[in-house]
Structure 1
Amino acid sequence: MKTMLASAALLAGLGLSGLAHAHSPYMLPSTFDVSDRKVVTVQGSFTESFFTPEVVMKSDTYAVVGPDGVRKALTPTYLRELALVEAPIETAGTYRITTGQRAGRVGKATLVNGEWEFLEPGKAPAGAEVVDMQSITTADVYVTRGAPSTGALAPVGKGLEFQAITHPSDITTGQPAKFVVLYDGKPVAGQEVTLTAGGDRYADVKAAPVTVKSDAQGRFELKPERSGVYQVQARYRVAPAAAGQPGQSHTYSLTFESLR
Protein backbone atom coordinates (compact mmCIF):
# COMPACT_ATOMS: atom_id res chain seq x y z
CA MET A 1 0.00 0.00 0.00
CA LYS A 2 1.20 3.48 -0.81
CA THR A 3 0.69 6.94 0.62
CA MET A 4 2.52 10.18 1.23
CA LEU A 5 3.90 10.70 4.72
CA ALA A 6 2.11 13.28 6.81
CA SER A 7 5.07 15.06 8.29
CA ALA A 8 8.31 16.17 6.64
CA ALA A 9 10.07 16.15 9.97
CA LEU A 10 8.99 12.58 10.61
CA LEU A 11 10.16 11.57 7.14
CA ALA A 12 13.63 12.90 7.70
CA GLY A 13 13.82 11.38 11.16
CA LEU A 14 12.81 7.97 9.87
CA GLY A 15 15.29 8.11 7.02
CA LEU A 16 12.37 8.03 4.58
CA SER A 17 11.66 10.26 1.62
CA GLY A 18 9.04 12.87 0.86
CA LEU A 19 8.90 13.48 -2.83
CA ALA A 20 8.96 17.25 -2.88
CA HIS A 21 8.94 18.50 0.68
CA ALA A 22 11.24 16.28 2.72
CA HIS A 23 14.53 14.49 2.47
CA SER A 24 14.81 12.05 -0.43
CA PRO A 25 17.61 9.49 -0.94
CA TYR A 26 19.99 9.43 -3.87
CA MET A 27 23.28 8.02 -5.17
CA LEU A 28 25.34 10.31 -7.42
CA PRO A 29 28.54 9.24 -9.25
CA SER A 30 31.38 11.54 -10.20
CA THR A 31 30.57 10.53 -13.78
CA PHE A 32 28.16 8.13 -15.49
CA ASP A 33 30.51 7.31 -18.35
CA VAL A 34 33.54 5.69 -16.70
CA SER A 35 35.29 4.64 -19.91
CA ASP A 36 38.44 6.61 -19.08
CA ARG A 37 38.95 5.45 -15.49
CA LYS A 38 39.37 2.44 -13.24
CA VAL A 39 37.44 3.74 -10.23
CA VAL A 40 34.34 5.87 -9.73
CA THR A 41 33.44 7.83 -6.60
CA VAL A 42 29.77 7.87 -5.61
CA GLN A 43 28.04 9.93 -2.93
CA GLY A 44 25.01 8.79 -0.95
CA SER A 45 22.82 11.33 0.81
CA PHE A 46 19.34 12.56 1.63
CA THR A 47 18.29 15.96 0.30
CA GLU A 48 15.39 18.31 -0.29
CA SER A 49 17.08 19.78 -3.38
CA PHE A 50 18.70 17.49 -5.94
CA PHE A 51 21.61 16.98 -5.92
CA THR A 52 22.79 19.01 -2.94
CA PRO A 53 23.67 16.65 -0.06
CA GLU A 54 22.13 17.41 3.32
CA VAL A 55 21.97 14.28 5.49
CA VAL A 56 24.50 11.45 5.30
CA MET A 57 23.05 8.10 4.14
CA LYS A 58 24.55 5.38 6.30
CA SER A 59 24.28 1.74 5.29
CA ASP A 60 25.96 -1.53 6.16
CA THR A 61 25.26 -2.87 2.67
CA TYR A 62 26.94 -0.51 0.20
CA ALA A 63 28.02 -2.61 -2.77
CA VAL A 64 28.90 -2.68 -6.45
CA VAL A 65 27.41 -5.20 -8.86
CA GLY A 66 29.71 -5.77 -11.82
CA PRO A 67 28.94 -6.61 -15.46
CA ASP A 68 29.17 -10.29 -14.50
CA GLY A 69 26.41 -9.85 -11.92
CA VAL A 70 28.76 -10.47 -8.98
CA ARG A 71 28.09 -8.29 -5.95
CA LYS A 72 31.04 -6.94 -3.93
CA ALA A 73 30.82 -4.99 -0.69
CA LEU A 74 32.07 -1.40 -0.57
CA THR A 75 33.37 0.44 2.49
CA PRO A 76 31.86 3.93 2.85
CA THR A 77 33.48 7.03 4.28
CA TYR A 78 30.95 9.02 6.30
CA LEU A 79 30.90 12.80 6.40
CA ARG A 80 28.18 14.85 8.02
CA GLU A 81 26.23 15.49 4.85
CA LEU A 82 27.11 12.53 2.68
CA ALA A 83 28.69 9.11 2.39
CA LEU A 84 31.38 8.38 -0.18
CA VAL A 85 32.21 5.03 -1.75
CA GLU A 86 34.83 4.19 -4.36
CA ALA A 87 33.83 1.44 -6.75
CA PRO A 88 36.49 -0.31 -8.87
CA ILE A 89 35.76 -0.29 -12.61
CA GLU A 90 38.06 -3.01 -13.91
CA THR A 91 36.37 -4.35 -17.03
CA ALA A 92 34.05 -3.06 -19.73
CA GLY A 93 30.31 -3.01 -19.13
CA THR A 94 27.70 -1.61 -16.76
CA TYR A 95 28.01 -1.45 -12.97
CA ARG A 96 25.35 -0.91 -10.32
CA ILE A 97 26.44 0.97 -7.19
CA THR A 98 23.90 0.52 -4.42
CA THR A 99 23.22 1.24 -0.78
CA GLY A 100 21.56 -2.16 -0.50
CA GLN A 101 18.50 -2.35 1.70
CA ARG A 102 19.10 -0.13 4.71
CA ALA A 103 16.79 -0.28 7.72
CA GLY A 104 15.73 3.05 9.21
CA ARG A 105 13.90 3.97 12.35
CA VAL A 106 10.55 2.59 13.43
CA GLY A 107 7.54 4.90 13.66
CA LYS A 108 3.85 4.50 14.35
CA ALA A 109 1.35 4.09 11.51
CA THR A 110 -2.33 3.44 11.02
CA LEU A 111 -4.66 2.60 8.14
CA VAL A 112 -6.50 5.61 6.71
CA ASN A 113 -8.93 4.84 3.88
CA GLY A 114 -7.12 1.60 3.19
CA GLU A 115 -3.62 3.10 3.07
CA TRP A 116 -0.91 3.23 5.72
CA GLU A 117 -0.07 6.67 7.09
CA PHE A 118 2.62 7.56 9.59
CA LEU A 119 1.51 9.32 12.74
CA GLU A 120 3.06 12.23 14.54
CA PRO A 121 3.99 11.32 18.12
CA GLY A 122 0.96 11.27 20.40
CA LYS A 123 -1.53 12.02 17.61
CA ALA A 124 -3.19 8.67 16.92
CA PRO A 125 -6.89 9.00 15.99
CA ALA A 126 -9.28 7.74 18.65
CA GLY A 127 -9.96 4.02 18.22
CA ALA A 128 -7.39 3.61 15.46
CA GLU A 129 -5.30 0.45 15.25
CA VAL A 130 -1.70 1.59 15.50
CA VAL A 131 1.24 -0.54 14.36
CA ASP A 132 4.99 -0.11 14.23
CA MET A 133 6.30 0.69 10.74
CA GLN A 134 9.99 0.45 9.81
CA SER A 135 11.54 2.33 6.92
CA ILE A 136 13.58 0.36 4.37
CA THR A 137 15.53 2.50 1.88
CA THR A 138 17.42 1.44 -1.24
CA ALA A 139 19.20 3.79 -3.64
CA ASP A 140 20.88 2.69 -6.87
CA VAL A 141 22.85 4.21 -9.73
CA TYR A 142 24.37 2.67 -12.87
CA VAL A 143 27.64 3.65 -14.58
CA THR A 144 29.11 2.19 -17.76
CA ARG A 145 32.60 1.62 -19.10
CA GLY A 146 32.55 1.20 -22.87
CA ALA A 147 29.47 -0.52 -24.28
CA PRO A 148 26.46 -1.00 -21.92
CA SER A 149 25.81 -4.52 -20.61
CA THR A 150 22.90 -6.09 -18.74
CA GLY A 151 24.42 -8.35 -16.07
CA ALA A 152 24.19 -5.69 -13.33
CA LEU A 153 20.57 -4.89 -14.21
CA ALA A 154 19.12 -8.19 -12.94
CA PRO A 155 16.50 -7.61 -10.21
CA VAL A 156 17.48 -8.50 -6.66
CA GLY A 157 14.05 -10.04 -6.07
CA LYS A 158 13.65 -8.66 -2.55
CA GLY A 159 11.92 -5.49 -1.46
CA LEU A 160 11.06 -2.58 -3.74
CA GLU A 161 13.09 -1.99 -6.92
CA PHE A 162 12.91 -0.95 -10.56
CA GLN A 163 13.76 -3.33 -13.37
CA ALA A 164 15.21 -1.32 -16.24
CA ILE A 165 13.76 -2.14 -19.65
CA THR A 166 15.46 0.84 -21.25
CA HIS A 167 19.13 0.57 -20.28
CA PRO A 168 19.91 3.41 -17.82
CA SER A 169 23.02 4.31 -19.85
CA ASP A 170 20.88 4.67 -22.99
CA ILE A 171 18.24 7.08 -21.68
CA THR A 172 17.74 9.84 -24.24
CA THR A 173 16.25 13.29 -23.70
CA GLY A 174 12.75 13.55 -25.14
CA GLN A 175 12.37 9.78 -25.52
CA PRO A 176 10.48 7.41 -23.18
CA ALA A 177 12.52 5.40 -20.69
CA LYS A 178 10.78 2.18 -19.67
CA PHE A 179 10.88 0.33 -16.33
CA VAL A 180 8.95 -2.21 -14.26
CA VAL A 181 8.35 -1.64 -10.56
CA LEU A 182 8.77 -4.83 -8.51
CA TYR A 183 8.16 -5.82 -4.91
CA ASP A 184 9.78 -9.10 -3.84
CA GLY A 185 10.29 -9.82 -7.53
CA LYS A 186 6.64 -9.38 -8.52
CA PRO A 187 5.19 -6.47 -10.57
CA VAL A 188 3.30 -3.81 -8.64
CA ALA A 189 0.24 -2.38 -10.40
CA GLY A 190 -0.91 1.19 -9.83
CA GLN A 191 2.32 2.24 -8.11
CA GLU A 192 3.06 5.97 -8.04
CA VAL A 193 6.54 6.86 -9.31
CA THR A 194 7.96 10.39 -9.17
CA LEU A 195 10.67 11.86 -11.42
CA THR A 196 12.64 14.87 -10.20
CA ALA A 197 15.24 16.82 -12.17
CA GLY A 198 18.44 18.07 -10.61
CA GLY A 199 20.14 21.41 -11.12
CA ASP A 200 17.12 23.65 -10.54
CA ARG A 201 19.18 26.02 -8.42
CA TYR A 202 20.31 27.84 -11.56
CA ALA A 203 17.20 27.35 -13.68
CA ASP A 204 15.05 30.35 -14.64
CA VAL A 205 11.98 28.13 -14.37
CA LYS A 206 12.10 25.23 -11.94
CA ALA A 207 10.76 21.95 -13.29
CA ALA A 208 8.05 20.43 -11.11
CA PRO A 209 8.35 16.74 -10.20
CA VAL A 210 6.40 14.46 -12.55
CA THR A 211 4.37 11.57 -11.15
CA VAL A 212 3.20 8.57 -13.16
CA LYS A 213 1.56 5.25 -12.25
CA SER A 214 2.54 1.75 -13.24
CA ASP A 215 0.13 -0.28 -15.33
CA ALA A 216 -1.36 -3.69 -14.55
CA GLN A 217 1.99 -5.37 -15.32
CA GLY A 218 3.97 -2.92 -13.19
CA ARG A 219 5.34 -1.10 -16.24
CA PHE A 220 5.84 2.64 -16.40
CA GLU A 221 7.46 5.19 -18.70
CA LEU A 222 9.34 8.41 -18.03
CA LYS A 223 10.28 11.07 -20.57
CA PRO A 224 13.03 13.48 -19.51
CA GLU A 225 12.30 16.74 -21.29
CA ARG A 226 15.78 18.19 -20.93
CA SER A 227 19.28 16.80 -20.65
CA GLY A 228 20.62 16.42 -17.14
CA VAL A 229 20.63 14.21 -14.05
CA TYR A 230 17.38 12.86 -12.59
CA GLN A 231 16.18 10.97 -9.53
CA VAL A 232 13.19 8.64 -9.85
CA GLN A 233 11.55 7.29 -6.71
CA ALA A 234 8.69 5.18 -5.37
CA ARG A 235 7.37 4.11 -1.99
CA TYR A 236 5.47 0.94 -1.07
CA ARG A 237 4.10 0.03 2.36
CA VAL A 238 3.12 -3.36 3.67
CA ALA A 239 1.30 -4.41 6.81
CA PRO A 240 3.03 -6.36 9.60
CA ALA A 241 3.49 -9.98 8.60
CA ALA A 242 2.49 -11.20 12.07
CA ALA A 243 1.47 -9.84 15.43
CA GLY A 244 4.34 -8.15 17.20
CA GLN A 245 6.29 -7.53 13.98
CA PRO A 246 6.60 -4.10 12.36
CA GLY A 247 5.21 -3.28 8.96
CA GLN A 248 7.61 -1.98 6.33
CA SER A 249 7.71 1.26 4.38
CA HIS A 250 9.97 0.70 1.37
CA THR A 251 11.51 3.60 -0.54
CA TYR A 252 13.49 2.98 -3.72
CA SER A 253 15.36 5.57 -5.76
CA LEU A 254 17.37 5.47 -8.98
CA THR A 255 19.62 8.23 -10.31
CA PHE A 256 20.25 8.45 -14.05
CA GLU A 257 21.62 10.81 -16.67
CA SER A 258 19.64 11.82 -19.76
CA LEU A 259 21.55 12.97 -22.85
CA ARG A 260 20.60 13.94 -26.40
Structure 2
Amino acid sequence: MQQQRFTKALALGLIFAGMSMTAKAHDAWLLPNATMIDAKEAWVSLDAGISNQLFEFNHAPLRLDNLMITDPDGVSTKATGAVLGKYRSTLDLRLPKDGTYRLSIVNNNVMGSYKLNGETKRFRGAQGSPQVQIPAGATEVQTTNVLTRLETFVSANKMSETALKPSGSGLELIPVTHPSDLRVGEPIRVRFQLDGKPAAKLAFSVVPGTAKYRGSSGEQRLTTDDKGEASFTVAAPNMYYLSASFPGGERGAPQQPGAKRYTYAATFEVLPQ
Protein backbone atom coordinates (compact mmCIF):
# COMPACT_ATOMS: atom_id res chain seq x y z
CA MET A 1 0.00 0.00 0.00
CA GLN A 2 1.13 3.56 -0.67
CA GLN A 3 0.63 4.33 3.00
CA GLN A 4 2.92 1.45 4.02
CA ARG A 5 5.64 2.58 1.62
CA PHE A 6 5.52 6.00 3.26
CA THR A 7 5.75 4.72 6.79
CA LYS A 8 8.65 2.40 6.10
CA ALA A 9 10.68 5.26 4.62
CA LEU A 10 9.57 7.57 7.40
CA ALA A 11 10.53 5.14 10.12
CA LEU A 12 13.98 4.78 8.60
CA GLY A 13 14.32 8.52 8.20
CA LEU A 14 13.02 9.57 11.62
CA ILE A 15 15.72 7.87 13.63
CA PHE A 16 14.83 9.95 16.65
CA ALA A 17 11.57 8.02 16.91
CA GLY A 18 13.53 5.13 18.38
CA MET A 19 11.55 2.43 16.61
CA SER A 20 12.74 -0.64 14.73
CA MET A 21 10.84 -1.99 11.75
CA THR A 22 9.13 -5.34 12.15
CA ALA A 23 7.60 -7.47 9.42
CA LYS A 24 4.46 -5.33 9.62
CA ALA A 25 4.64 -1.71 8.55
CA HIS A 26 3.67 1.00 11.01
CA ASP A 27 2.14 4.43 10.58
CA ALA A 28 3.68 7.61 12.00
CA TRP A 29 1.08 10.32 12.60
CA LEU A 30 0.13 13.61 14.24
CA LEU A 31 -3.39 13.76 15.69
CA PRO A 32 -4.92 17.03 16.93
CA ASN A 33 -8.01 16.86 19.13
CA ALA A 34 -9.69 19.29 16.71
CA THR A 35 -8.79 21.26 13.59
CA MET A 36 -11.11 24.23 14.15
CA ILE A 37 -11.13 25.73 17.65
CA ASP A 38 -13.60 28.47 18.55
CA ALA A 39 -12.56 29.90 21.91
CA LYS A 40 -11.47 33.19 23.44
CA GLU A 41 -8.29 31.43 24.56
CA ALA A 42 -7.63 28.74 21.97
CA TRP A 43 -5.63 25.60 22.73
CA VAL A 44 -5.08 22.38 20.80
CA SER A 45 -3.93 19.03 22.19
CA LEU A 46 -1.70 17.02 19.88
CA ASP A 47 -0.95 13.30 20.07
CA ALA A 48 1.90 11.78 18.06
CA GLY A 49 2.48 8.08 17.67
CA ILE A 50 3.70 5.15 15.61
CA SER A 51 1.23 2.30 15.34
CA ASN A 52 0.04 -0.59 13.21
CA GLN A 53 -3.44 0.95 13.06
CA LEU A 54 -4.01 4.62 12.36
CA PHE A 55 -4.39 6.81 15.44
CA GLU A 56 -4.22 3.87 17.86
CA PHE A 57 -1.78 4.01 20.78
CA ASN A 58 -0.29 0.53 20.53
CA HIS A 59 3.35 0.58 19.44
CA ALA A 60 5.66 3.54 20.16
CA PRO A 61 5.63 7.31 20.65
CA LEU A 62 6.69 9.65 17.87
CA ARG A 63 9.10 12.17 19.35
CA LEU A 64 8.22 15.83 18.84
CA ASP A 65 11.79 17.16 19.15
CA ASN A 66 11.65 18.56 15.60
CA LEU A 67 8.03 19.74 15.57
CA MET A 68 7.71 23.20 14.05
CA ILE A 69 4.72 25.49 14.52
CA THR A 70 4.00 27.95 11.71
CA ASP A 71 1.57 30.61 12.93
CA PRO A 72 -1.03 32.61 10.93
CA ASP A 73 1.60 35.26 10.13
CA GLY A 74 3.95 32.64 8.65
CA VAL A 75 6.40 32.74 11.58
CA SER A 76 7.84 29.31 12.45
CA THR A 77 9.05 28.30 15.92
CA LYS A 78 10.12 25.00 17.43
CA ALA A 79 7.54 23.46 19.74
CA THR A 80 8.44 23.00 23.41
CA GLY A 81 6.81 21.23 26.32
CA ALA A 82 6.01 17.88 24.68
CA VAL A 83 5.65 14.88 26.99
CA LEU A 84 7.03 11.50 25.90
CA GLY A 85 4.91 8.56 26.99
CA LYS A 86 5.03 4.81 26.47
CA TYR A 87 2.92 4.74 23.30
CA ARG A 88 2.53 8.40 22.32
CA SER A 89 3.91 11.89 22.72
CA THR A 90 1.53 14.66 23.74
CA LEU A 91 1.63 18.43 23.48
CA ASP A 92 -0.82 21.08 24.66
CA LEU A 93 -0.32 24.10 22.43
CA ARG A 94 -1.75 27.57 22.98
CA LEU A 95 -2.85 29.34 19.79
CA PRO A 96 -2.44 33.05 20.63
CA LYS A 97 -3.28 34.38 17.16
CA ASP A 98 -6.52 33.88 15.26
CA GLY A 99 -6.06 31.98 12.01
CA THR A 100 -4.55 28.77 10.66
CA TYR A 101 -1.43 27.04 12.00
CA ARG A 102 0.74 24.39 10.36
CA LEU A 103 2.22 21.74 12.70
CA SER A 104 4.98 19.87 10.88
CA ILE A 105 7.98 17.59 11.25
CA VAL A 106 10.38 17.89 8.31
CA ASN A 107 13.55 15.84 8.02
CA ASN A 108 16.37 15.46 5.53
CA ASN A 109 18.08 12.16 6.22
CA VAL A 110 20.64 9.93 4.58
CA MET A 111 20.85 6.15 4.73
CA GLY A 112 23.22 3.80 3.01
CA SER A 113 26.12 1.40 3.25
CA TYR A 114 29.78 0.99 2.40
CA LYS A 115 32.56 -1.57 2.71
CA LEU A 116 35.57 -0.97 4.94
CA ASN A 117 38.30 -3.58 5.44
CA GLY A 118 36.06 -6.18 3.83
CA GLU A 119 33.12 -5.55 6.18
CA THR A 120 29.79 -4.01 5.14
CA LYS A 121 28.75 -1.05 7.29
CA ARG A 122 25.29 0.51 7.28
CA PHE A 123 24.43 4.02 8.42
CA ARG A 124 21.56 6.45 8.70
CA GLY A 125 21.19 9.92 10.14
CA ALA A 126 20.45 13.56 9.43
CA GLN A 127 22.11 15.14 6.40
CA GLY A 128 25.51 16.47 7.49
CA SER A 129 25.54 14.68 10.84
CA PRO A 130 28.56 12.64 12.04
CA GLN A 131 26.55 9.41 11.67
CA VAL A 132 26.54 9.73 7.87
CA GLN A 133 30.19 10.65 7.29
CA ILE A 134 31.96 8.15 5.02
CA PRO A 135 35.43 7.20 6.32
CA ALA A 136 38.52 7.35 4.15
CA GLY A 137 39.20 4.06 2.39
CA ALA A 138 35.53 3.06 2.14
CA THR A 139 34.42 1.33 -1.06
CA GLU A 140 31.10 0.29 -2.64
CA VAL A 141 29.42 3.36 -1.16
CA GLN A 142 25.65 3.52 -1.66
CA THR A 143 23.47 6.30 -0.29
CA THR A 144 19.83 7.33 -0.45
CA ASN A 145 18.61 10.78 0.57
CA VAL A 146 15.17 10.67 2.24
CA LEU A 147 13.22 13.91 2.62
CA THR A 148 10.13 13.49 4.80
CA ARG A 149 7.29 15.80 5.78
CA LEU A 150 4.62 14.90 8.36
CA GLU A 151 2.04 17.53 9.26
CA THR A 152 -1.44 18.65 10.25
CA PHE A 153 -3.30 21.96 10.29
CA VAL A 154 -5.43 23.66 12.96
CA SER A 155 -7.30 26.97 13.00
CA ALA A 156 -8.19 29.26 15.88
CA ASN A 157 -11.48 31.19 15.48
CA LYS A 158 -11.01 31.79 11.77
CA MET A 159 -9.31 30.33 8.73
CA SER A 160 -6.34 31.95 7.00
CA GLU A 161 -3.94 31.11 4.17
CA THR A 162 -0.42 32.28 5.06
CA ALA A 163 0.66 29.14 6.95
CA LEU A 164 -0.47 27.00 4.01
CA LYS A 165 2.18 28.39 1.66
CA PRO A 166 4.72 25.77 0.49
CA SER A 167 8.43 26.05 1.14
CA GLY A 168 9.43 24.88 -2.34
CA SER A 169 11.52 22.03 -0.91
CA GLY A 170 10.61 18.35 -0.95
CA LEU A 171 7.21 16.77 -1.55
CA GLU A 172 4.51 19.15 -0.35
CA LEU A 173 0.73 19.41 -0.38
CA ILE A 174 -0.95 22.74 -1.02
CA PRO A 175 -4.54 22.60 0.23
CA VAL A 176 -6.89 24.09 -2.38
CA THR A 177 -9.88 23.38 -0.16
CA HIS A 178 -9.01 24.83 3.24
CA PRO A 179 -7.98 21.99 5.63
CA SER A 180 -10.16 23.38 8.43
CA ASP A 181 -13.26 23.42 6.22
CA LEU A 182 -13.61 19.85 4.95
CA ARG A 183 -17.11 18.37 4.82
CA VAL A 184 -18.58 14.96 4.03
CA GLY A 185 -19.75 14.69 0.43
CA GLU A 186 -18.09 17.93 -0.69
CA PRO A 187 -15.10 17.89 -3.08
CA ILE A 188 -11.74 18.11 -1.34
CA ARG A 189 -9.20 19.60 -3.72
CA VAL A 190 -5.44 19.29 -3.20
CA ARG A 191 -2.31 20.17 -5.14
CA PHE A 192 1.06 18.44 -4.76
CA GLN A 193 4.40 19.87 -5.73
CA LEU A 194 7.91 18.43 -5.73
CA ASP A 195 10.73 20.88 -5.06
CA GLY A 196 8.44 23.72 -6.12
CA LYS A 197 7.15 22.14 -9.34
CA PRO A 198 3.80 20.38 -9.97
CA ALA A 199 3.92 16.71 -8.95
CA ALA A 200 2.12 15.28 -11.99
CA LYS A 201 0.77 11.71 -11.98
CA LEU A 202 1.64 11.27 -8.31
CA ALA A 203 -0.11 8.37 -6.59
CA PHE A 204 -1.44 9.03 -3.10
CA SER A 205 -3.87 7.47 -0.66
CA VAL A 206 -6.50 8.68 1.78
CA VAL A 207 -7.38 6.47 4.76
CA PRO A 208 -9.90 7.08 7.56
CA GLY A 209 -8.95 6.35 11.15
CA THR A 210 -10.65 3.91 13.58
CA ALA A 211 -10.33 0.94 11.20
CA LYS A 212 -10.79 -1.53 14.06
CA TYR A 213 -14.44 -0.45 14.28
CA ARG A 214 -15.02 -1.00 10.54
CA GLY A 215 -13.21 -4.21 9.71
CA SER A 216 -11.62 -2.67 6.59
CA SER A 217 -9.09 0.06 5.85
CA GLY A 218 -11.43 2.19 3.72
CA GLU A 219 -8.45 3.36 1.68
CA GLN A 220 -8.93 5.48 -1.43
CA ARG A 221 -6.11 5.41 -3.99
CA LEU A 222 -5.84 8.44 -6.23
CA THR A 223 -3.50 10.08 -8.74
CA THR A 224 -2.83 13.74 -9.48
CA ASP A 225 -3.32 15.22 -12.95
CA ASP A 226 -0.72 16.96 -15.10
CA LYS A 227 -0.93 20.03 -12.83
CA GLY A 228 -0.33 17.99 -9.68
CA GLU A 229 -3.97 18.43 -8.65
CA ALA A 230 -6.66 15.99 -7.53
CA SER A 231 -10.16 16.07 -6.08
CA PHE A 232 -11.97 13.48 -3.96
CA THR A 233 -14.84 13.11 -1.51
CA VAL A 234 -15.30 11.02 1.62
CA ALA A 235 -18.50 9.41 2.84
CA ALA A 236 -18.18 9.71 6.61
CA PRO A 237 -16.85 12.20 9.16
CA ASN A 238 -13.50 11.16 10.64
CA MET A 239 -9.84 11.99 10.95
CA TYR A 240 -8.15 11.06 7.67
CA TYR A 241 -4.54 10.22 6.84
CA LEU A 242 -3.30 11.33 3.42
CA SER A 243 0.07 10.00 2.27
CA ALA A 244 2.28 9.93 -0.81
CA SER A 245 5.83 9.09 -1.79
CA PHE A 246 8.07 9.72 -4.77
CA PRO A 247 9.35 7.89 -6.67
CA GLY A 248 6.67 5.22 -6.66
CA GLY A 249 7.20 1.54 -7.27
CA GLU A 250 6.62 -1.60 -5.31
CA ARG A 251 7.34 -1.62 -1.63
CA GLY A 252 10.85 -2.82 -0.90
CA ALA A 253 12.07 -2.19 -4.45
CA PRO A 254 15.81 -1.40 -4.51
CA GLN A 255 16.79 2.26 -4.76
CA GLN A 256 19.41 3.46 -7.20
CA PRO A 257 22.65 4.61 -5.52
CA GLY A 258 22.54 8.32 -4.84
CA ALA A 259 18.77 8.40 -5.27
CA LYS A 260 16.43 10.77 -3.51
CA ARG A 261 13.18 9.62 -1.96
CA TYR A 262 10.43 12.00 -0.91
CA THR A 263 7.59 11.17 1.46
CA TYR A 264 4.60 13.13 2.71
CA ALA A 265 1.75 12.48 5.12
CA ALA A 266 -0.85 14.65 6.81
CA THR A 267 -3.85 14.29 9.09
CA PHE A 268 -7.09 16.06 8.14
CA GLU A 269 -10.45 16.23 9.86
CA VAL A 270 -13.64 15.88 7.80
CA LEU A 271 -16.81 17.04 9.54
CA PRO A 272 -20.51 16.32 8.86
CA GLN A 273 -22.49 18.61 6.57
Short-chain TM bin? 0.7 to 0.9
**Alpha-carbon deviation of 1:161?**
1.1
Give the root-mean-square deviation of aligned CA atoms.
Answer: 3.0
The aligned residue for residue 96 of structure 1 is 102
The aligned residue for residue 239 of structure 2 is 229
**Alpha-carbon deviation of 1:60?**
4.3
The aligned residue for residue 43 of structure 2 is 39
**Alpha-carbon deviation of 1:182?**
1.0
2:31 to 19, 28, 31: 28
Rounded Cα–Cα distance in structure 1 between residues aligned with 2:266 and 2:247: 18
1:169 to 159, 180, 183: 180
Rounded Cα–Cα distance in structure 2 between residues aligned with 1:3 and 1:74: 26
Residues 42, 156 of structure 2: 8 Å contact kept:
no
**Alpha-carbon deviation of 1:5?**
4.7
The aligned residue for residue 192 of structure 2 is 181
Partner SS for 1:169: coil
Partner SS for 2:31: strand
Rounded Cα–Cα distance in structure 2 between residues aligned with 1:222 and 1:88: 32
Q: 40-49 or 212-221, which moves further after superposition?
A: 40-49
Rounded Cα–Cα distance in structure 2 between residues aligned with 1:95 and 1:78: 22
**Alpha-carbon deviation of 1:181?**
0.7
Residues 5, 245 of structure 2: 8 Å contact kept:
no
Rounded Cα–Cα distance in structure 2 between residues aligned with 1:59 and 1:135: 19
- The alignment status of 1:71 with 2:96, answered yes or no, reads no
The aligned residue for residue 51 of structure 1 is 55
Call closer, same or farther: CA 1:56–1:168 in 2, change over 3 Å: same
Identical residues among aligned pairs (%):
25
Rounded Cα–Cα distance in structure 2 between residues aligned with 1:55 and 1:77: 13
Unpaired runs of 5+ in structure 1? 109-120, 122-128, 239-244
**Alpha-carbon deviation of 1:25?**
2.3
Rounded Cα–Cα distance in structure 1 between residues aligned with 2:91 and 2:218: 30
Residues 32, 144 of structure 1: 8 Å contact kept:
yes
Question: How many residues matched?
Answer: 227
Unpaired runs of 5+ in structure 2? 15-20, 114-121, 123-139, 249-256
Q: 143-152 or 229-238, which moves further after superposition?
A: 229-238
The aligned residue for residue 201 of structure 1 is 212
The aligned residue for residue 126 of structure 1 is none
**Alpha-carbon deviation of 1:34?**
1.9
Residues 77, 83 of structure 1: 8 Å contact kept:
yes
